[in-house]
Amino acid sequence: MGESAERDLLSEEERQGILTMTFESVRGRVPIVVGTGSESLRSTVQSSVSAQDLGASAVMIPPPRRLKTGLGVPNEDAIFDYFSSVGDAIEIPVVIQDFPQTDRPRMSPALIGRLNREISNARYLKLEDPPTPLKLTRIREVAGDKLKIFSALYGRDSFWDLVHGAVGIMTSSPTPEYLVAMYDAYVAGDRKKAFDIYLNTLPLVYYCGELGLAVRKEVLVKRGVIRTSRMKLPERELADSQKEELADVLGWVEKAVLSSSGVAPLNLRVP
């Protein structure tokens, strides 16, 4: 549910309300992973326990921004202690989020391997430190197959991450049908179809990566999932010209993927 890096935009009351509504709406039909990380260890532990009590299948946590010994230099022992404390407080799995672009410490493959090896429920990694295919390979050399690694970053390197050993794709895409179809084709051995879907969706991936949440909401409006793409301050909304460009890109991607791979776009109209 969302990115851990964005949770500070909500008050704890707002966040708890959204979580409760989400779990009530889903009713156990699909697994829910909740982003619970914050700068405060106490808050992270409390949020993780609360998510577990609500029925979360896992929590996702990045290392706090404050855990550095210098500019961009991670305090690896402090990061380990932070994750270890969370792991001791809950029983559900922890998804480690490696996302240094949000001014968080850059975790080395050795540190990630140690977290997985010494914290029993640190079983997954959401990898967002590019170039992800190269780092993914280095992490697997340390951790082996025990650590399950998800591709992320809007799907930017998703095909190549699968080639290098990712077990799935965990990212905030407004067009999940394309990621699912690409993954299914790849694991079925149809590498050409998977690569075609990947290539034909890259223009939309670029927009999602560059313009962020506003793009994802606008696509969801066009797909009939939500009614409005209005943003909550301090986030910025798309200009009219950007919405027109996005509509052109989305239309091109939908036609290209349907023509090359037979995957139709989802249209989920709000009743």
The domain ranges of the chain are: 4-172, 190-271
pLDDT confidence of residue 103: 87
DSSP 167-211: -EE----S-HHHHHHHHHHHHTT-HHHHHHHHHHHHHHHHHHHHH
**Does a cis peptide bond (omega within 30 degrees of 0) precede residue 176?**
no
pLDDT tens figures, 84-129: 999 999 999 999 999 998 889 999 999 999 999 999 999 999 999 9
pLDDT confidence of residue 10: 65
pLDDT confidence of residue 202: 96
Between CA 116 and CA 125, with CA 119 as vertex, the angle to 5 degrees is 35
Cα–Cα distance for residue pair 188/70, rounded to 1 Å: 46
pLDDT tens figures, 183-195: 999 999 999 999 9
Tokens of 57: 């299948």
* Inter-CA distances, 25 with 3, 32, 208, 216, Å: 20, 11, 26, 21
User: What residues contact 25, with CB distance under 8 A and at least 6 apart?
Assistant: none
Q: pTM of this prediction?
A: 0.89
Domain 4-172: which CATH number of 3.20.20.70, 3.30.565.60, 3.50.50.60, 4.10.95.10: 3.20.20.70
User: What's the mean pLDDT when you consider all of the chain?
Assistant: 91
pLDDT confidence of residue 270: 56
